[in-house]
Every structure is written in C-alpha cells, then in structure tokens.
Amino acid sequence: MNRLTPYKLLLVALTCLIIQGCGGGTSSGTLLQRFDVSGRWTGTMSNVDGSRLISLSMTLTDVGGAVTGIIVSPDYECTTSGIVADGKATPTETNEGGDSALTFDNEMLNRGMLTFAWNPTPAESNPARVSQIQVALTGTSTDLSGHYAGYWNLEDADDRCGSSGITPSLQTEGVMTLSRS
C-alpha cells in the first residue's frame, strides 16, 4: 500500500506552488501589448483650479509613434475644434518600473507618454501670436492624463480666453483626462 508520507505530501504541495508561481502572466494583463494611442478618446479638460470641466473628444492615428488627429471641444468658448500637430507617442523604456525581474517580458509596454500641439481651427487671423496648446499626457493605451498649457488667440478685442493684447503670455493651463472610447 502506497501512502503519502508527510515528506511526500510536502513535496507535492511545494511542487504545486512552484508550478503556480511559474505559470506566467502579469498582474496588469498587458503582456506584449504595445503603447498605441490610435482610436477615439473622450474625456475632460479643466482649468488649473478644477472649477470648470470641459468635454473633449479626439480621434488619433498613431503610426510608429508619430501621432496625428483631430480634437473637438463643442462646449468651449475658446475653440471648438483643432488638429494634432507634432504628436509623439513614446512608450515606456524596456525594464522600467513595474516589470518582472524574473522574466524577459516588458509588462509595461502599454504605458507611455503622448505629447502634441493642439492647433485650434480655423486658424486665427493674427499672425503676431498664433494659438497653440502644448499637451503632455501619460498613462496606458486606454487611459491618459496630464497637463496642457499655451495660448488661445481670439480677436484682440475678445478677452474670453485671455487673448486681449498682442504680447504673448501664458494664457491657459490645466488638467486633461482621457479614456479610449
């Protein structure tokens, strides 16, 4: 009669634990997914103190890290649309924080930074000061958040967006949060 002795039972239990621990997988569920911001994004932008949320949607195309697209903000008095210029999607470097030291996999491949210039359309008529908002967002291929800063340049007499006068100065800044929709 074959009986499991305490040592054999311990050996079976340890073997099961080792198999479970080496089963692979990641806690984030993002193994081998690359940072790619292509698609439709929706979210909000707010001023620095967060007193106002403005709805925002973007449709982006990411080709090898070069990002183009359009931006729509229908309820914003400073601009209702624009284009993405100089867009760049930069993935997190291999073996950065969050990667497993026990594997050669880069579990953080779907994380990165998206930077671009938001050029409002139609372009304003004042060539001395062109509107442009610089945006820097970090996160994953499904959720991004960060900051924006730059100039809204409406007509000289219109000060709704801090555009009165010709001398450029920091006109607007705030927080932007987006999710893939």
The structural domains of the chain, ordered by start, are 32-180 (2.40.128)
Tell me how far apart the alpha carbons of residues 146 and 45 are, in angstroms, rounded to a whole number: 10
- CB atoms inside a 10 Å sphere around CB 171: 18
| Token pair 């994380």 in the structure block, residue | 111
Would you write out the chain's pLDDT as a tens digit for each of its 181 residues? Answer: 566 677 776 777 777 667 765 554 444 444 557 889 999 999 999 877 777 888 999 999 999 999 999 999 888 777 778 899 999 999 987 655 555 556 555 566 788 999 999 888 766 555 555 678 899 999 988 999 999 888 766 555 555 555 455 444 446 788 999 999 8
Number of residues assigned to the chain: 181
